[in-house]
């Protein structure tokens, strides 16, 4: 069977994508804490892709140079800048190749990423090669510079096989074949060509094939003496199974007296001497300024802003739509985390970038633009709005201005879901900001706002009424008419407040209906609003109220007020009606008829027509004593109201 060129090209393409993902993961994992969902998601995605590539193509051996990574003879990654230095990440610690072997497990990939994170976080000062060997990753093997140096002696000799530490950092015994012993001694024994050294090489100092003296790596220790502290032994601590191995070395160097325990009576550095020593370790002025600058920059570091720039950069690097979509999903998760943290300004920056990028790509890369458009639309979905609500309830410090700026970035499709939030937000500043947004953006989508009037929750209905009133559109009155009959008193009051200055005929009908409401405050508010209408309109409404069958069922104070308004507005047109109320016979002393007679007299007191004067004068001469006295009293009161004093 011939060589499958298309499969090799696909292999190269898949490996390139894996390395690009590895760079993203290394950046994000190094920046975020362990429990953050973003690095966890990236780690999982990367591990899945890498294992899938290994399963599909077998072992993947990558050769590392200073600024590039190769697969066979093909370069699959090249460092473009210091920030994009994936090759140098492996090259600097001495790795010349890394192989991902069949059987690679997810836990091993995660462990490798953790080691890379630790290496990056220590400014690449830790021993990455030793840490990877310590981790005992059976699915990942390395070739190092040391291995290359030793290949001149024997191809199968590897430093990694000699110095492989266990988890408890105890040196492991090394068992070598006779040939390997000869190689080892020829290299390391040749460092000292003295006769004594030669004698040592032939003796017990050599590595023996029978493992009588297995190689061990001593623990390097550094000891220092601080002022006013007890001097420690130069031999330092040693393991119980070993002798004081540093004693002979100390004696050979002329420090035999220091190998013994420190003398308790030995003098210590005086405070002046300590000051003199410390003076030598002071930074120069220019160094001090540089360190201060670094500290200031570190204090001003904003991880949110850095994350935004990182997300933008990741999107910019993607050249294929599937990878672009995957990165965009990661960006959405990051934006959700911003919202949960109450960082609406940063979430708004990302959303604004998506919108701007969509406008730039929609003509040249239509599918890319559509994907970005979907992301912007989903920002206003009910699920995302619930995340926003929870974040606002937990972060009262988020200002109304900040919330309003974020909402302004959402499309009109979010209006329906935002109306539902009206009754769920806990903090008043957030509710006010939301109402302001709905007023500004709801005029062109009134049905979406009006939908809130039919909500089962009274507080949602009330807020919807308030917004409709502020929109001040004749179409909004239709929805207010539905709300004026709501069983919740506070909703009906909100409708009355909304229509206080309305002159729309539909609004007047709503006020007329409210003037006979069962609640006294609502009736008074409605009547106040009706009396503020143009005279003709107000008279027609009060006439309708007086003739309504429910008129006598309302509070008598309100009946009196309506009759007074009817009399003032109607003038001589209503005098005959009021006279009929007064002259009704009440043989059975019905309380309703008695009230209406008194109400008729009171209403005539507010009528400025001459006909009203004449009726009261006529009734003052009645043969019935009660009628006569009441008419005379009404006549005097009318003159006081109209002329400002008594007029006999």
Among 522, 529, 565, which residue's Cα sits nearest to residue 544?
A: 565
Neighbouring CB atoms inside 10 A of 308's CB total 20
| Coil, helix or strand at residue 163 | coil
Q: What is the C-alpha separation between 429 and 624, in angstroms, rounded?
A: 67
Q: Which residues of the chain have pLDDT under 50?
A: 1-3, 155, 157, 159-173, 191-194, 196-236, 238-240, 242, 245, 253, 258-259, 266, 647-648
Whole-model pTM over 0.85: no
Neighbouring CB atoms inside 10 A of 326's CB total 17
Q: From edge to edge, which strands make up the β-sheet containing 60-64?
A: 74-78, 68-71, 60-64, 95-100, 140-144
**How remote is the C-alpha of 143 from its chain's centroid?**
43
| The pLDDT of residue 215 | 47
Q: What is the C-alpha separation between 21 and 127, in angstroms, rounded?
A: 24
**How remote is the C-alpha of 158 from its chain's centroid?**
50
Supply φ then ψ for residue 61, to 5 degrees: -105, 120
* Strand-pair partners of 99: 61, 141
Q: What is the C-alpha separation between 90 and 82, in angstroms, rounded?
A: 14
Q: What is the C-alpha separation between 39 and 25, in angstroms, rounded?
A: 7
Q: What is the C-alpha separation between 388 and 401, in angstroms, rounded?
A: 15
Q: What is the C-alpha separation between 275 and 228, in angstroms, rounded?
A: 12
What's the N-to-C CA distance of the chain in angstroms? 130
Q: Are 49 and 56 in contact (CB under 8 A)?
A: no
C-alpha distance from residue 426 to each of 102, 336, 396, 453 (Å): 55, 20, 9, 20
Bin 343: left if φ > 0, else alpha if -120 < ψ < 50, else beta: beta
Q: What is the C-alpha separation between 591 and 262, in angstroms, rounded?
A: 115
| The pLDDT of residue 10 | 87
DSSP state of 379: T
| The pLDDT of residue 171 | 40
Contacts of 9 (CB under 8 A, 6+ apart): none
Q: What is the C-alpha separation between 506 and 181, in angstroms, rounded?
A: 105
- For the chain, the maximum distance between any two Cα atoms, rounded to a whole number of angstroms, is 157
Q: What is the C-alpha separation between 397 and 41, in angstroms, rounded?
A: 29
| The pLDDT of residue 272 | 58
Q: What's the angle, vertex CA 592, arms to CA 638 and CA 544, rounded to 5?
A: 70
| The pLDDT of residue 63 | 92
SS3 sequence of 174-228 = CCCCHHHHHHHHHHHHHHCCCHHHHHHHHCCCCCCCCCCCCCCCCCCCCCCCCCC
Q: For domain 396-498, give the CATH number.
A: 1.25.10.10
Residue 394 tokens, joined: 């937990």
Total residue length of the chain: 648
Q: What is the C-alpha separation between 581 and 331, in angstroms, rounded?
A: 77
Q: What is the C-alpha separation between 234 and 226, in angstroms, rounded?
A: 14
Q: What's the angle, vertex CA 203, arms to CA 198 and CA 204, rounded to 5?
A: 130
| The pLDDT of residue 217 | 46
DSSP state of 231: P
* Strand-pair partners of 68: 78
Q: What's the angle, vertex CA 70, arms to CA 66 and CA 71, rounded to 5?
A: 160
Alpha helices in 427-584 (DSSP H): 428-442, 446-450, 458-471, 476-483, 489-498, 505-514, 520-531, 535-547, 556-570, 575-583
How many CA atoms lie less than 13 Å away from 148 in the CB half-sphere? 9
C-alpha distance from residue 450 to each of 453, 467, 468 (Å): 6, 9, 7
Following DSSP, what letter does each residue of 537-552 receive, concatenated? HHHHHHHHHHHSTTGG
């Amino acid at each position: 069977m011939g060589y499958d060129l298309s499969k090799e090209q696909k292999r190269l393409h898949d490996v390139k994508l894996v390395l690009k993902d590895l760079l993203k993961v290394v950046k994000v994992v190094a920046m975020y804490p362990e429990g953050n969902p973003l690095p966890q998601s990236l780690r999982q995605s990367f591990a899945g892709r890498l294992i899938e590539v290994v399963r599909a193509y077998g072992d993947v051996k990558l050769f590392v140079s200073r600024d590039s990574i190769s697969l066979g003879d093909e370069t699959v990654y090249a460092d473009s800048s210091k920030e994009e230095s994936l090759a140098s990440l492996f090259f600097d610690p001495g790795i010349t190749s890394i192989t991902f072997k069949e059987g690679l497990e997810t836990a091993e990939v995660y462990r490798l990423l953790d080691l890379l994170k630790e290496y990056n976080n220590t400014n690449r000062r830790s021993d990455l090669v030793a840490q990877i060997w310590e981790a005992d990753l059976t699915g990942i093997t390395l070739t190092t510079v040391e291995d290359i140096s030793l290949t001149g002696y024997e191809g199968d000799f590897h430093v990694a096989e000699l110095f492989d530490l266990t988890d408890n950092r105890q040196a492991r015994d090394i068992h070598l074949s006779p040939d390997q012993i000869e190689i080892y001694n020829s290299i390391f024994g040749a460092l000292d060509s003295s006769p004594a050294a030669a004698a040592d090489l032939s003796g017990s100092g050599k590595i023996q094939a029978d493992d009588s003296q297995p190689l061990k790596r001593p623990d390097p220790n550094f000891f220092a003496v601080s002022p006013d502290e007890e001097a420690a032994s130069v031999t330092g601590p040693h393991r119980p199974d070993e002798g004081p191995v540093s004693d002979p070395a100390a004696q050979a160097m002329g420090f035999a007296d220091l190998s013994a325990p420190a003398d308790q009576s030995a003098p210590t550095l005086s405070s002046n001497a300590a000051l003199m020593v410390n003076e030598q370790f002071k930074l120069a002025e220019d160094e001090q300024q540089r360190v201060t600058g670094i500290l200031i920059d570190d204090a001003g570091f904003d991880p949110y802003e850095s994350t935004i720039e990182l997300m933008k950069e990741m999107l910019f690097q993607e050249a294929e739509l599937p990878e672009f979509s995957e990165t965009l999903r990661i960006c959405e998760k990051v934006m959700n985390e911003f919202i949960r943290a109450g960082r609406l300004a940063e979430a708004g920056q990302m959303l604004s970038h998506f919108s701007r990028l969509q406008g730039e790509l929609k003509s040249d890369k239509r599918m890319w633009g559509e994907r970005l458009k979907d992301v912007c639309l989903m920002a206003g979905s009910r699920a995302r709005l619930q995340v926003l609500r929870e974040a606002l309830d937990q972060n009262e410090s988020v200002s109304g201005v900040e919330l309003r700026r974020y909402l302004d970035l959402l499309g009109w499709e979010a209006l329906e879901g935002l109306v539902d939030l009206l009754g769920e937000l806990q903090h008043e500043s957030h509710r006010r900001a939301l109402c302001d947004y709905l007023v500004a953006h709801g005029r062109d989508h009134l049905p979406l706002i009006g939908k809130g009037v039919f909500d089962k929750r009274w507080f949602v209905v009330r807020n919807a009424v308030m917004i409709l009133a502020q929109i001040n559109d004749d179409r909004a009155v239709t929805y207010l008419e539905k709300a004026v009959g709501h069983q919740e008193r506070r909703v009906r009051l909100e409708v009355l407040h909304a229509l206080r200055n309305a002159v729309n005929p539909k609004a007047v009908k709503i006020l007329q209906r409210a003037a006979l409401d069962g609640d006294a405050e609502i009736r008074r508010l409605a009547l106040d609003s009706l009396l503020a209408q143009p005279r003709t309109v107000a008279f027609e409404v009060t006439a309708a109220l007086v003739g309504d069958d429910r008129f006598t069922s309302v509070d008598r104070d309100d009946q009196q007020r309506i009759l007074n308004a009817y009399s003032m507005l109607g003038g001589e047109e209503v005098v005959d009606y009021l006279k009929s109320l007064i002259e009704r016979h009440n043989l059975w002393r019905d309380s309703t008829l008695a009230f209406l007679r008194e109400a008729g007299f009171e209403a005539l007191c507010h009528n400025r027509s001459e006909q009203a004067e004449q009726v009261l004068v006529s009734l003052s001469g009645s043969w019935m004593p009660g009628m006569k006295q009441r008419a005379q009293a009404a006549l005097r009161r009318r003159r006081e109201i109209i002329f400002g004093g008594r007029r006999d």
